[in-house]
Structure 1
Amino acid sequence: MKEYVVKGMTCAACVRAVEKAASKVEGVSSPVVNLSTEKLTFELSGDFDEEKLFNLVKKAGYELEEVSKERIVTLEIDGMTCAACVSAVKKAVAKLEGVSEVSVNLATERATVKYDPDKLRISSIKEAIEKAGYRASAFTNSDSEQSRLKKEAAIKSYKQKFLVSIVFAIPLLIIAMGHMTGLKLPSFIDPHMNPLNFALVQLFLTLPIIIAGRDFYLKGIPNLFRGHPNMDTLVGLGTGAAFIYGVFATVQIASGYHNYAGDLYFESAGVIIALISLGKYFENLSRGKTSEAIRKLMNLAPKKALVKREERFVEIPLEEVEAGDVLLVKAGMSIPVDGTVIDGTASVDQSMLTGESIPVDVGEGSKVTGGTVNINGAIEIRASRVGSDTVLSKIIKMVEEAQASKAPIARLADTVSGYFVPFVLVVALVTFVSWIALGYGFTFSMSMTIAVLVIACPCALGLATPTAIMVATGRGAGMGILFKNGEALETTHKVDAVIFDKTGTITRGKPQLVDFKVLNGFTEKEAARLVASIASRSSHPLDRAILDGYEGDLLQVSDFQAVAGGGISATINGGKVKLGNPGFIGTTGKEVDELVRSLSELGKTPVVASYDEKAMAVLGIADVIKDSSVRAIEKLKRSGVETYMMTGDNERTARAIAAQVGVDRVIAEVMPQHKAEKVGQLKEKGFTVAMVGDGINDSPALAAADVGIAIGSGTDIAIEAADVVLMKDDLNDVVNSINLSKATIRNIKQNLFWAFFYNTIGIPVAAGLFYTALGLRLNPMIAGAAMAFSSVSVVMNALRLKRIKI
């Protein structure tokens, strides 16, 4: 069996056209096209000409793509500490045969790999990662809680390491440096009276700190020999060199060379490890806050549900609920799954999912979403979507995927980090050799080298982009704006042209009666009753709109007839009532003609009613504009974004609607299959285009745009094709999504600037570049504190996005 993706289909006619084209190709047997999955499948019955198939389908107005066999796996990576680790994992996986794409995220500690299962197994990917010095395990959504617990354990571990380190580092620092500040030490550890005791006490105080920071040596040093040095390598080499030199100096003191007591460097090793442990604790604590949005979403769904079993409701675990089950939701309870109300009424709070603060009243036949809260009343619902198929589960998956993805702007940091640590090692070596050559001695040269190794941490570089993306996507989810990936989040800030679909996007998508003008002596009450009575017998959308706008009792209707494209007629109260377009009604007079024309010019659909061939009323029916449309378009125009409205309506109606909402330009009379072409034409002019839509017919245009924005109340196909999903039916969120993207990119650029600036300034100072001219020298302990602060500052800056005004 062969399978292809079909692009450009919008309706059943498209399905027939593709099937017809495919059936003309020799070797193709029983072609079947599925509109919902947008796929063509068929059996092979002989030699098959694929090129001919592609050409025939293209001639029919559609495009084919081969279905990719590639799979995507998400792996949780243990042991990554900086951007160099990210680069090492990425390189180890990317060189495997069968891997087409790999993305590694330091903030989420996950790798996403796209690979060909015919050429590669997941076990081989894990093995490559482990050879690079890290641990990998497959990750699924069900592992989120376990992952959270693992991160909490990591935070606790760093806290314990810091506490152990600081308990010993404080007395170590006092003993090592106190006598230099005038602090008198007890005689038995005074460096002038008992230099050996002075050294031994520092050695024994440093040992527990070294043990607490053993990961720097057990992980960092081996990574150097694997060819993937990272932050742990730099810290391990720097503090390890200081410690080993201290041990050497202690041996020398024991041998009678008391002059070594002046520079032991135990305090440098101990205090640096303590400060870095503190930095890692705060960094992990802050990074834990970046995924709060996911945890809040996951906590929306209850763990158990009341399900009907043999005429009574029993409590069962949520994962055991199946589609078709009847559930009871009492006041105050969260709705467990997506479903339809079959009994009872209630007010439902949807704010956590949509951001809409006003509760929604639901009753029999109403759709409800899992994770929303029943404020009052009791309802019975029939489950329609359970498990991973619920809206809440899909939102969680979408946000997780967005947080795990990388924005294109991150490529710069990825590229730099691959060369950064080796560069630092070379600088450290050159620093040591240079100062030795200049005659400054081993101790001074060692101090400069340690400072270089410790200050040049690439942590800030690796965290700059992913933390900002995590916080921003979480903030967006809380506002009801779902970015599907980092690329969408980045591209949105460049948008300078927005195309709005009309029906269901700018307008409500449901006709409403907005004008009712009576004529020829009829009263409004009398005419409305007659019109509503005849409309009640019709299922036409315009007639349903008329009936929805009427409150009152109806009259008996007989001899009802409907004329396609014209209108309806019936006998009511012994008279002939007709309702339809002016042509169907017949000669109506000048006043009716003027009313019809004025309504048409305003973009409304005119409907005329007559009684016994006498014009009774002229009705104006319109697809009412959403309250948010005018405000949103005004905000976009103020920010310099060009606005377009695209519709299949005639030019006059489209321009009337556009004038009401203030849209700059109108693209009217566009067939669904041509919407993507219009988007392409605008892109060719140099615009970064966002397409906003809600229907199946919008999906090709959503996919063709630089940023596709789907209204959450729209179809699943439209949502699937989009890059951004708006959970609220509010076009102001189009503006908010652009503003959030701008704020995020601004935040990322700030992070990257400070990460690069910090290292650009810090490394030369640590290497002593300004020492001979200005006497400027960086103590290794200060370098350690600065390194720890750099990572924390980047994460804290990213966390500002949680509170920034959009």
Structure 2
Amino acid sequence: MTAAPDTAPETGAAPLTLPVEGMTCSSCAATIQGGLSKLDGVADATVNFATRRATVRTDGTIDPDALAEMMRTTIAELGYQVPQSAGSDGPTLEEEHAQHAAADTARIADYRRRFLVAAVLTVPLMLISMVPAWQFSGWEWVALALATPVVGWSAWPFHRATIGAARHRATTMDTLVTIGTVAAWSWSTVVLLGHAWGALGHAHVYFETGAVIVTLILLGKWMEVRSSARAGDAIRALSSRQASTATLEDGTVIERSALELGMRFITRPGEIIATDGVVVDGEAAVDASLVTGESVPVRVVEGGEVVGGTVATDGTLTVEATRVGSETMLAQIARMVDEAQTGRARVQRLADRVARIFVPAVIAVSAFTLVAWLLVTGDAGAAFTAAVAVLIISCPCALGLATPLAIMVGTGRGAQLGVLVKGPEALEDTRDVTTIVLDKTGTVTEGRMTLVSATASGEDKDQADAFLDAVASVEARSEHPIAQAIAAARPARIPVKGFRALAGSGVVATVKGAAVDGGNADVTVGARRLFDEIPDAIEALAVEAEREGRTAVLAGRTPATGGLGTDVLKARPALVAEAVLVVSDAVKPTSREAVAAFRELGLDVVLLTGDNARAAQTVAEEVGIERVIAEVLPGDKAEVIRELQAEGARVAMVGDGINDAPALAQADLGLAVGTGTDVAREASDLTIVSGDLRAAADAIALSRRTLSTIRGNLFWAFAYNTAAIPLAALGILNPMIAAAAMGGSSLFVVGNSLRLRRFAGYRAPRA
């Protein structure tokens, strides 16, 4: 069997994923993974037992439809099933989650039915086999009649998987169940026939052993699938929480899937918003807890953005659709969580390697136990009992569930809290993080700048106002939040040409009539470092603003150069600051709590900003941050992260803007605030849908809790088998007790993983 490599090769082709039904343990997943890895054109294959999905990455040499058919055929030959609707395009996530729910219901019903039949037949079988007073003449034949349907029909799912794996010279957990139960039934049948023919003396029959093993394993499986089905509730609820219809402005009701960009629809109080859009009329409190994890509804007015799947609680909205179908935020969240659940954590690779060799090793240990008991004691019954106990106690169900189920529950709970994990590796990266770097604007602060004051030197008010209008006209060309705040506060516009952004410093453009003598002038707006001379009056106003935690922007002008080439700043006359514009950005009310939460998690907190040192220090003091790195150009943020890493820190970076993307990618763990840009989200490992910085603490805490759960699951799964196999081989563990213990270990892993559903985080009210 070929295991998937530790690191998937980079290929240009998109991965192909198919749902798989019929897996019962990690060995089943390993068997399918090995079969798919051998297909032509497959560069890497991964099969996730908890999500029941097979994903392959191709080398780009094979047609996706042909590969999907090859995958379906291989999986069927191994004894498992692929839903007929699954193809190279595959169902939508919404359809696939519905299929999973239906499949879970069918599996639960099937295990329940098989368990009830087995239990009804096994109870009388145990009584006549283990209570001498109930053993009448010929009771062994009745035992055979009772045990045969249990070992044959009730246990058939295990036998079917064993046969499919054997065709590919592979073994799974089902192999152990089949060998153990069929061996018990076969040995007992041989003994019964031998007694009928006067042979085999006083050898005992063990019909009840095989039947009880099947019954207990089916009980454990029934309970396991019922519990593990709950693991996917969060993401299924997320993908299904959408309106089925939408009411257009003219009253027409259409299917949600028929909505197109630009269409306007009405959402009344209590209704689910059909898709992402912008409010064009009305206002309402919107409950967005489904996607942000925030319990308090947010007031949305005309011009505000809304997310499909959220609820307008108290008002009527007219919304223009801006995203539909698979592009909506809800669909993207579901897709990201789904990809995270399909991925494979690094810690899982050890379990994968063990699962590949575990079953053959157990069969060898069982055979050795049988031979050793026969040689040492000569007691065939005791030898047989010990060998079967080794087979049954070794079933690695718990091992297969340990990692994927915890990831499934953890990422699902994260989605409910507005925390999206890009992949399992991100969970593991949180463990060693020692330092968290926070971008200031839009992360620690609201990111909604407002112009507090604008002062230009000179005694002529009209000329000062004209110059400030010229400054606003230049800033209107920039997308920076500070520039937009200045432009919005002074709407008068003057013709501008030759606009140029000076990375991380400011902007410059030629403005018609902006010179003192009425001619054209090059107007420069930005940071101190752009100016050759700053008059005392301007400097005093700037310093006062910065001490109050505000941002001071300077502006000046020089005669127009006739063009803004690369050497314009060097060739111009000395630039004197003639105006100071003070911009304010309020600190988010929860930022101080977030910083305290980071410290509680054992992290050193650093504030990183391109703003001036005085303003940055004021904000840092307000939220409780001691270390500040200010006046950093956008292109240098990633270098700051590298320097911290060179000092030995494992760095997490939280940011929201385009200029944060390189730093997010450079950090050991990148966390993007979901209210920021798509570029930042793509570069990050974790995305926080909410703008609340405490959600970043929730993300780290949940990731660590999930990883801790995975490690606990793996420890107990390994410890269980390590301790139990020797006990079974020594004859201390009865096969029936072994079967019950095996089921119990799986239920422990399921229950331990489901505890993650109760994770509350730092945003939950605390007593």
Report the TM-score, using the length of structure 2 for normalisation. Answer: 0.82
The CA distance in 2 between the partners of 1:559 and 1:108, in whole Å, is 58
Matches within 5 A, 1:105-124: 105-119=48-62, 121-124=67-70
The CA distance in 2 between the partners of 1:235 and 1:607, in whole Å, is 75
2:446 alignment partner, one of 494, 503, 508: 508
Query: For residue 367 of structure 2, what is the amino acid of its counterpart?
Result: L
* CA separation of 1:620 and 1:420: change in aligned 2, threshold 3 A: same
The answer to whether residue 406 in structure 2 is matched with residue 465 in structure 1 is no
The secondary structure found in structure 2 opposite 1:263 is coil
Quick check: 1:709–1:726 contact (8 Å CA) kept in 2? yes
Quick check: 1:566–1:581 contact (8 Å CA) kept in 2? no
1:255-300 per-residue CA deviation (whole Å, 9 max, x = no partner) reads 345954x721111111110000000011111110101111211232
The secondary structure found in structure 2 opposite 1:470 is helix
The answer to whether residue 31 in structure 2 is matched with residue 88 in structure 1 is yes
Q: What is aligned with 1:24?
A: none
Q: What is aligned with 2:418?
A: 480
The answer to whether residue 224 in structure 2 is matched with residue 286 in structure 1 is no
The answer to whether residue 127 in structure 2 is matched with residue 174 in structure 1 is yes
Quick check: 2:15–2:55 contact (8 Å CA) kept in 1? yes
Quick check: 1:74–1:113 contact (8 Å CA) kept in 2? yes
* CA separation of 1:564 and 1:265: change in aligned 2, threshold 3 A: closer
Q: Which has the higher strand share?
A: 1
2:283 alignment partner, one of 345, 348, 368: 345
Quick check: 1:535–1:543 contact (8 Å CA) kept in 2? no
* CA separation of 1:412 and 1:608: change in aligned 2, threshold 3 A: closer
Q: What is aligned with 2:722?
A: 760
* CA separation of 1:672 and 1:561: change in aligned 2, threshold 3 A: closer
Query: For residue 690 of structure 1, what is the amino acid of its counterpart?
Result: A
Matches within 5 A, 1:323-334: 323-334=261-272
The answer to whether residue 679 in structure 2 is matched with residue 687 in structure 1 is no
The answer to whether residue 744 in structure 2 is matched with residue 789 in structure 1 is yes
* CA separation of 1:75 and 1:588: change in aligned 2, threshold 3 A: closer
The answer to whether residue 176 in structure 2 is matched with residue 234 in structure 1 is yes
The CA distance in 2 between the partners of 1:753 and 1:357, in whole Å, is 36
Quick check: 1:493–1:739 contact (8 Å CA) kept in 2? no
How far has the Cα of 1:112 moved from its partner? 1.6
How far has the Cα of 1:582 moved from its partner? 14
The answer to whether residue 162 in structure 2 is matched with residue 220 in structure 1 is yes
How far has the Cα of 1:684 moved from its partner? 3.5
Q: What is aligned with 1:315?
A: 253
Quick check: 1:635–1:735 contact (8 Å CA) kept in 2? yes
Query: Where does structure 1 lack aligned partners over 5 or more consecutive residues?
Result: 1-65, 518-526, 570-579, 610-616, 772-776
Q: What is aligned with 1:158?
A: 111
Q: What is aligned with 2:143?
A: 202
Quick check: 1:286–1:795 contact (8 Å CA) kept in 2? yes
The CA distance in 2 between the partners of 1:681 and 1:559, in whole Å, is 43
Q: What is aligned with 1:45?
A: none
**Poorly superposed stretches of 4+, deviation over 6 Å:** 514-517, 534-537, 541-544, 546-549, 557-569, 580-583, 587-593
Quick check: 1:132–1:228 contact (8 Å CA) kept in 2? no
1:651-693 per-residue CA deviation (whole Å, 9 max, x = no partner) reads 4443443343333433333332332333233333332221111
* CA separation of 1:589 and 1:650: change in aligned 2, threshold 3 A: closer
Matches within 5 A, 1:243-262: 243-256=185-198, 260=202
1:439-460 per-residue CA deviation (whole Å, 9 max, x = no partner) reads 3322211111111111101111
Taking only aligned residues, the RMSD between alpha carbons, in angstroms, comes to: 3.8
The answer to whether residue 637 in structure 2 is matched with residue 675 in structure 1 is yes
How far has the Cα of 1:608 moved from its partner? 11
1:134-172 per-residue CA deviation (whole Å, 9 max, x = no partner) reads 334544313221222012101110111111111111111
The answer to whether residue 699 in structure 2 is matched with residue 737 in structure 1 is yes
2:679 alignment partner, one of 679, 698, 717: 717
Greater Cα shift, 209-218 or 122-131 = 122-131
1:763-783 per-residue CA deviation (whole Å, 9 max, x = no partner) reads 111111xx5xxxxx2111111
Quick check: 1:691–1:701 contact (8 Å CA) kept in 2? yes
Quick check: 1:536–1:547 contact (8 Å CA) kept in 2? no
The CA distance in 2 between the partners of 1:381 and 1:726, in whole Å, is 25
How far has the Cα of 1:247 moved from its partner? 1.2
Matches within 5 A, 1:493-532: 493-512=431-450
Query: For residue 220 of structure 2, what is the amino acid of its counterpart?
Result: G
Quick check: 2:472–2:493 contact (8 Å CA) kept in 1? no
How far has the Cα of 1:341 moved from its partner? 1.7
Q: What is aligned with 1:388?
A: 326
Q: What is aligned with 1:47?
A: none
* CA separation of 1:287 and 1:446: change in aligned 2, threshold 3 A: same
The CA distance in 2 between the partners of 1:71 and 1:101, in whole Å, is 12
Q: What is aligned with 2:576?
A: none
Q: What is aligned with 2:546?
A: 600
Q: What is aligned with 2:357?
A: 419
Q: What is aligned with 2:569?
A: none
How many aligned residue pairs are there? Answer: 690
1:798 alignment partner, one of 749, 753, 764: 753
The secondary structure found in structure 1 opposite 2:188 is helix
1:127 alignment partner, one of 59, 73, 81: 73
How far has the Cα of 1:493 moved from its partner? 2.6
Query: For residue 752 of structure 2, what is the amino acid of its counterpart?
Result: N
* CA separation of 1:536 and 1:376: change in aligned 2, threshold 3 A: farther
How far has the Cα of 1:174 moved from its partner? 1.0
* CA separation of 1:325 and 1:598: change in aligned 2, threshold 3 A: closer
The secondary structure found in structure 1 opposite 2:752 is helix
Quick check: 1:512–1:624 contact (8 Å CA) kept in 2? no
Quick check: 1:221–1:237 contact (8 Å CA) kept in 2? no
Query: For residue 691 of structure 1, what is the amino acid of its counterpart?
Result: M
How far has the Cα of 1:700 moved from its partner? 2.0
Matches within 5 A, 1:373-384: 373-384=311-322
The CA distance in 2 between the partners of 1:127 and 1:288, in whole Å, is 27
Matches within 5 A, 1:615-626: 621-626=583-588
The secondary structure found in structure 2 opposite 1:509 is coil
Q: What is aligned with 2:98?
A: 145
The CA distance in 1 between the partners of 2:432 and 2:344, in whole Å, is 17
1:86-141 per-residue CA deviation (whole Å, 9 max, x = no partner) reads 22122222233433332211111112211123146333333343444433454431
How far has the Cα of 1:538 moved from its partner? 5.4
Q: What is aligned with 2:611?
A: 649
* CA separation of 1:636 and 1:264: change in aligned 2, threshold 3 A: same
Query: For residue 751 of structure 2, what is the amino acid of its counterpart?
Result: M
Q: What is aligned with 2:597?
A: 635
Quick check: 1:71–1:116 contact (8 Å CA) kept in 2? no
How far has the Cα of 1:380 moved from its partner? 1.7
1:78 alignment partner, one of 8, 18, 21: 21
Report the TM-score, using the length of structure 1 for normalisation. Answer: 0.78
Query: For residue 727 of structure 2, what is the amino acid of its counterpart?
Result: V
The secondary structure found in structure 2 opposite 1:407 is coil
* CA separation of 1:217 and 1:544: change in aligned 2, threshold 3 A: closer
* CA separation of 1:427 and 1:608: change in aligned 2, threshold 3 A: closer
How far has the Cα of 1:537 moved from its partner? 12
Q: What is aligned with 2:386?
A: 448
* CA separation of 1:76 and 1:543: change in aligned 2, threshold 3 A: closer
How far has the Cα of 1:480 moved from its partner? 0.9
The CA distance in 1 between the partners of 2:353 and 2:376, in whole Å, is 35
